[in-house]
Amino acid sequence: MLLCSKIMLRNILIVGLGTIGKRYFNNLSTFFKDREVFIYKKLKNKSEKNFKTKKIGAAIISNPSNLHIHSAIKFAKKGIHCLIEKPLSINFKGVTKLVKIKKKKNLSIQVGYNLRFLKGAQFFKKKFQNKKKQIKHITINCLTNMLNWRKDKNYKKFSSSSKKLNGGVLFELSHEVDYLRWIFGDIKEVFAIIKNTGKLKSDIDEIARILIKLKSGITADINLSLINHYEKRDCIVFTKQGYYEWNLLKDEVKKNNKSIFKNKKFDINQTQIDQIKNFLNSISKNSRSAANLEDGIKTLKTLLAIEKSSKSKKIITL
Domain positions in the chain are 6-114+271-291, 119-264+300-317
Three state DSSP letters for the chain: CCCCCHHHHCEEEEECCCHHHHHHHHHHHHHCCCCEEEEECECCCCCECCCCHHHCCEEEECCCHHHHHHHHHHHHCCCCEEEEECCCCCCCCCHHHHHHHHHHHCCCEEEECHHHHCHHHHHHHHHCCCCHHHEEEEEEEEEEEHHHCCCCCCHHHCHHHCHHHHCCHHHHCCHHHHHHHHHHCCEEEEEEEEECCCCCCCCCCCEEEEEEEECCCCEEEEEEECEEEEEEEEEEEEECCEEEEEECCCCEEEECCEEEEECCCCCHHHHHHHHHHHHHHHHHCCCCCCCEHHHHHHHHHHHHHHHHHHHHCCCEEC
CB-CB contact of 36 with 42 (8 Å): no
- 178-205: average pLDDT: 95
Predicted confidence band of residue 35 (pLDDT cuts 50, 70, 90): very high
Superfamily in which the 6-114+271-291 domain is placed by CATH: NAD(P)-binding Rossmann-like Domain (3.40.50.720)
Predicted local confidence at residue 48, as pLDDT: 47
Asked if pLDDT for residue 224 goes beyond 60, the answer is: yes
Of the candidates 290, 282, 291, 296, the residue with the CA atom closest to the CA atom of residue 9: 282
| pLDDT above 70 coverage of the chain, percent | 89
- 3-26: average pLDDT: 84
d(CA 107, CA 280): 12
Selected residue with higher pLDDT from 69 and 199: 69
Superfamily in which the 119-264+300-317 domain is placed by CATH: Dihydrodipicolinate Reductase; domain 2 (3.30.360.10)
- The lowest-confidence range among 15-19, 65-69, 86-90, 91-95 is 15-19
- 224-231: average pLDDT: 96
Average per-residue pLDDT in the chain?
Answer: 92
- Global pTM value: 0.92
Predicted confidence band of residue 155 (pLDDT cuts 50, 70, 90): low
- The lowest-confidence range among 143-147, 198-202, 287-291 is 198-202
Predicted local confidence at residue 53, as pLDDT: 59
pLDDT digits (tens, 9 = 90+) for 51-81: 555 589 999 999 999 999 999 999 999 999 9
Asked if pLDDT for residue 154 goes beyond 80, the answer is: no
* Highest mean pLDDT, choosing among 47-51, 131-135, 151-155, 207-211: 207-211
Asked if pLDDT for residue 159 goes beyond 80, the answer is: no
Asked if pLDDT for residue 183 goes beyond 80, the answer is: yes
Asked if pLDDT for residue 141 goes beyond 50, the answer is: yes
Asked if pLDDT for residue 11 goes beyond 70, the answer is: yes
Asked if pLDDT for residue 237 goes beyond 50, the answer is: yes
Asked if pLDDT for residue 46 goes beyond 50, the answer is: no
- Would you say the C-alpha torsion 144, 146, 147, 152 has a positive or negative sign? positive
Does 119-264+300-317 match 6-114+271-291 at the fold level? no
